[in-house]
Amino acid sequence: MPELFESLKSALKAESGYEFELQDVTDKKTGISYKKLVRKYDLKSLPTMLRFSREFHYLYENYICKHREIDWENDWRDSNPISIDYTEIWPDRVLIGTSGEFSILFMTTKYHDLEVILDSEDALYANREDKMKLARYVPALIKDTEVAIKIMAEVSTRNGFDPSEFKFFQLDDVGFCVKTEYPITGMREEKIAENCLKRVKVISEWRRRFRTWLSSMERKQYYESTKGHLDVFKHERRGWVVTGGVGLVKWPVKDKNTREKIINYHIYRYLSHGAPIFTLDGYGIVGYRINHDYKFKFWVDRKQKKFRKLSLIPLEKIEFLKEDFPEMFK
């Protein structure tokens, strides 16, 4: 195995031009030890939106609080050689991946004053029904997902892979992470390295093309043309007026553990601050206590005697999604 690690390290450098650092890692859940090759690069060389993708507060303070405009080309365009971020060599498999592209929370906050809360790390990319619902609130973000999926389908197929072998997921607030893995039990070391480099090539080409899309004027136009805070209202709570961002949450959720996590980490946070939170169908959620249990119901506008709902972005403003979701426009 030591020869394999060095072989992969050398091959990755030859393919990407980057040095990779070999690390010893132990999985916290299983206790299994594995090796990890991590790409070494200067974070400061990245454009602002990529460099600070994991520093939401920096982006929030500078681009929202201080009203700094995004210099679309310079803040997004990456002139560095493009590659993967890491390779994990487990006893039975190899996993190759990236650490994501940009802060989804920042983009939805800046353009819609909105946080999207879903029930899984891959829901934004895999659940078509949820994407169509989100398209009426954050359409430019959904266009990002469809462009990413389309590019991956083209690149992977051309290189002899099924697109399903490459998974998109979100890590914390950072979206468009990619991973792929393959079994290595009984496989010769040279074959392991060969398979690794083939997948590295696919992800690198996908990332190169997707980052070109990120800095495009077409993408900018989609975000700018649909920009605007949602139809959220001010309301009084114990004598003071509550304003602020909006939560948009996948609800209800079937899985018990996921449901409890969303309640504890998201719904409680919004309700305890008096901030509005809505389902993907646009219904407002309110909470109330029965003895020691917290219950939820949809928010009713007592004056109009109907459920309080978010207004949708009109279909005529999101026709750039017509090719992706033709059923929305019938």
Give the pLDDT confidence of 307-320 residue by residue, as tens digits: 678 889 999 999 99
Last residue of a domain, one of 225, 259, 274: 225
pLDDT at 291: 61
> What pTM, to 2 d.p., does this model score?
0.91
* 73 and 158 assigned to the same domain: yes
* 141 and 285 assigned to the same domain: no
CA–CA gap between residue 309 and residue 119 (Å, rounded): 21
Q: Which residues contact 248 (CB under 8 A, 6 or more apart)?
A: 114, 115, 116, 117, 134, 137, 138, 277, 278, 279, 280, 310
* 108, part of any domain: no
Domain containing 278 equals: 235-310
In this structure, are residues 113 and 230 in contact, taking their beta carbons and an 8 Å threshold? yes
* Phi, psi angles (nearest 5°) of residue 279: -80, 170
Q: Six-digit token pair at 283?
A: 């219904």
pLDDT of 97 higher than 70: yes
More confident residue, 43 or 240: 43
Cis peptide before 2 (omega within 30 of 0): no
CA–CA gap between residue 91 and residue 121 (Å, rounded): 25
* 185 and 289 assigned to the same domain: no
Q: Six-digit token pair at 69?
A: 């405009």
Please name the residue that has the structure tokens 């169908």. 281
* 200, part of any domain: yes
SS3 call for 261: helix
CA–CA gap between residue 322 and residue 102 (Å, rounded): 25
* Phi, psi angles (nearest 5°) of residue 225: -75, -20
More confident residue, 252 or 293: 252
| Closest to 107 (Cα-Cα) out of 224, 210, 195, 267 | 224
* 169 and 275 assigned to the same domain: no
Low-confidence winner among 108-117, 274-283, 321-330 (lowest mean pLDDT): 274-283
SS3 call for 290: strand
* Domain total in the chain: 2
| Closest to 252 (Cα-Cα) out of 115, 129, 105, 119 | 119
- Residues linked to residue 297 through DSSP beta bridges, in sequence order: 286
* 57 and 138 assigned to the same domain: yes
CA–CA gap between residue 146 and residue 202 (Å, rounded): 18
